[in-house]
Structure 1
Amino acid sequence: MRYSFLEAKITERGIKKAAISAAIGVTPKSFNNKLTGKSPFTWPEVQTIQKRFFPDLDKDDLFQQQAI
């Protein structure tokens, strides 16, 4: 499962993945693993990403998973 909606919004808004990974305290590789569903997002990570980068979007919408 991957987070295609989140990936699309990151691209659409021109947000650097490195900025998000730094904000949640993980390496860019770890963040990519989370986006592709190889490792899970923690609840604090979800909250941080939504509040800092996407305050106008609902967490459930932002973190909906898509089958690969």
Structure 2
Amino acid sequence: MYRVLRGEMVKADITIHELALKIGITERSLRNKINGATAFTWNEVLVIRKIVSPNMQLEELFKAA
């Protein structure tokens, strides 16, 4: 599970539904990825960082718990 990502989403006031729409995947797919059931693509990682927390290091934002 990506707890840091979830925390940064809260700080950025963006829901899973909104983020899924912005990166072009379903809400269910995003939930699976955040929970660690499936992997993020490199492009998704880059777009998510740009939307959620552009100044945070990728390693920190996508640190698996």
TM-based fold match above 0.5: yes
TM-score normalised by L of structure 2: 0.89
Aligned to 2:60: 61
Aligned partner of 1:18: which letter? H
**Aligned equivalent of 1:51:** 50
Deviation for aligned residue 1:53: 2.4
Identity %: 31
What is the TM-score normalised by the length of structure 1? 0.86
Name which of structure 1's ranges 13-22 and 2-11 shifts more when overlaid on structure 2: 13-22
What is the deviation of 1:22?
Answer: 1.1
Task: Identify unmatched segments of 5+ residues in structure 1.
Answer: none
CA RMSD in angstroms comes to 1.1
- For 2:27, the equivalent position in structure 1 comes to 28
Bigger CA drift: 51-60 or 26-35? 51-60
Moved over 4 A (4+): none
Count of aligned pairs between the two proteins? 65
Long gaps (5+) in structure 2: none
Q: What's the offset of the Cα at 1:13?
A: 2.5
Of 30-39 and 16-25, the range deviating more from structure 2: 16-25
Post-superposition shift, 1:52? Answer: 2.3
